[in-house]
């Protein structure tokens, strides 16, 4: 498959500015693939401080646009388009921001852009997604951390990679918390979906994917889960191409 993907665990590390830590990677990605403009998908952005969901999209668009402008890249959001699928087909690069994965997937199915983006990216259009935007690059959204605030018509997603990502992966259980750990929830998923691998992508980390090559970038190791096997840890620059084997 001819794919160029930047799949980012989180937008912001504690104490840093928005899109601070991944910005050099995003800039390098834009430069390598000669990206001058992007189509932004804001549907994960559900902001309680805004009077309407459309206003949430506007605010989200402006926030990301300012950062990308500093990288010399123009941004326009798909929510302004009367024909979202046509906007996808004309896009030079697709960028999907983080937020609530359930709302994002609901809107991607309702507008038809789930299939349109999949077709374009599989033909080589560059793709960047962080948090929920990384989740939807997977076969399904079933390893999201988000609350189901909306009901998608399907959990099926872009299927740009053959494994699942759990963004913001945490090892520890918060002090006093009696519920399941992140690892326990992933193991539950694997008990039902035994042929799937799950990548626990810790904050401050991302995947850079070109074709059948995948690289881990960031300051923490990756944790990979497979049914019936002990989780494995992989450092930056470790061979990970096995994750892309169907």
Q: Can you tell me the mean pLDDT for 223-229? A: 97
Q: What is the pLDDT of residue 176?
A: 61
* 185, burial (CB in 10 Å: exposed 0-12, middle 13-18, buried 19+): middle
Q: Could you say which DSSP state residue 173 is in? A: P
Question: Of these residues, 103, 146, 159, 177, which one is catalytic?
Answer: 146
**Domain-embedded: residue 193:** no
pLDDT of 152 strictly over 70:
yes
What are 49-65's pLDDT values in tens digits?
A: 656 677 789 999 999 99
pLDDT of 184 strictly over 80:
yes
pLDDT of 48 strictly over 70:
no
Q: Note if 154 is an active site residue.
A: no
**Domain-embedded: residue 242:** no
pLDDT of 166 strictly over 90:
yes
pLDDT band at 140 (very low <50, low <70, confident <90, very high): very high
**Domain-embedded: residue 138:** yes
**Domain-embedded: residue 41:** yes
Q: What is the pLDDT of residue 1?
A: 72
Domain encompassing residue 117? 4-161+202-218
Question: Of these residues, 131, 154, 159, 171, which one is catalytic?
Answer: 131
Q: Note if 115 is an active site residue.
A: no
**Domain-embedded: residue 180:** no
Indicate the helix (H) or strand (E) that contains 110. Answer: helix 101-111
Q: Where are the beta strands (DSSP E) in the chain?
A: 4-8, 37-41, 74-77, 94-96, 127-130, 164-167, 197-201, 205-210, 213-218, 222-226, 232-234
What is the rounded CA–CA span in Å between residue 129 and residue 109?
Answer: 17
**Domain-embedded: residue 178:** no
Q: What is the pLDDT of residue 53?
A: 74
Q: Note if 168 is an active site residue.
A: yes
What is the rounded CA–CA span in Å between residue 52 and residue 220?
Answer: 38
**Domain-embedded: residue 174:** no
Count CB neighbours of 20 within 10 A.
13
Q: Can you tell me the mean pLDDT for 122-132? A: 97
pLDDT of 90 strictly over 60:
yes
**Domain-embedded: residue 241:** no
Question: Of these residues, 80, 109, 115, 168, which one is catalytic?
Answer: 168
Indicate the number of domains in the chain. 1
Q: Can you tell me the mean pLDDT for 153-161? A: 98
> Which residues make Cβ contacts (< 8 Å) with residue 72, sequence separation at least 6?
30, 36
CATH number, residue 74? 3.40.50.880
| Mean pLDDT rounded to a whole number for the chain | 94
Q: Can you tell me the mean pLDDT for 109-122? A: 98
CA distances from 65 to 54, 113, 224 (A): 16, 21, 34
pLDDT of 218 strictly over 60:
yes
Tokens of 167: 């963004």
Instruction: Report which of residues 47 and 8 the model is more confident about.
Output: 8
What is the rounded CA–CA span in Å between residue 45 and residue 8?
Answer: 16
Q: What are phi and psi of 210, to 5 degrees?
A: -135, 115
pLDDT of 178 strictly over 60:
no
């Amino acid at each position: 498959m001819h794919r160029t993907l930047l799949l980012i665990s989180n937008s912001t590390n504690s104490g840093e500015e928005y899109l601070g830590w991944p910005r050099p990677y995003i800039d390098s990605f834009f430069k390598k693939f000669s990206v001058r403009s992007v189509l932004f998908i804001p549907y994960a952005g559900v902001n309680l401080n805004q009077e309407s969901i459309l206003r949430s999209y506007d605010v989200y668009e402006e926030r990301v646009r300012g950062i990308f402008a500093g990288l010399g890249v123009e941004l326009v959001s798909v929510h302004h388009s009367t024909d979202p699928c046509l906007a996808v087909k004309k896009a030079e690069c697709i960028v999907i921001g983080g937020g609530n994965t359930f709302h994002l997937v609901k809107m991607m199915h309702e507008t038809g852009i789930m299939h349109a983006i999949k077709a374009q990216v599989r033909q080589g259009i560059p793709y960047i997604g962080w948090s929920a935007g990384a989740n939807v690059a997977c076969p399904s959204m079933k390893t999201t951390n988000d609350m189901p605030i909306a009901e998608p018509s399907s959990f099926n997603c872009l299927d740009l990679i053959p494994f699942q990502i759990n963004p913001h992966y945490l090892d520890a259980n918060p002090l006093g918390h009696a519920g399941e750990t992140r690892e326990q929830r992933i193991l539950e998923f694997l008990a039902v979906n035994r042929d799937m691998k799950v990548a626990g992508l810790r904050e401050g980390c991302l995947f850079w994917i070109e074709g059948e090559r995948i690289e881990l970038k960031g300051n923490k190791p990756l944790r990979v889960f497979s049914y019936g096997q002990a989780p494995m840890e992989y450092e930056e620059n470790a061979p990970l191409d096995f994750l892309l084997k169907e």
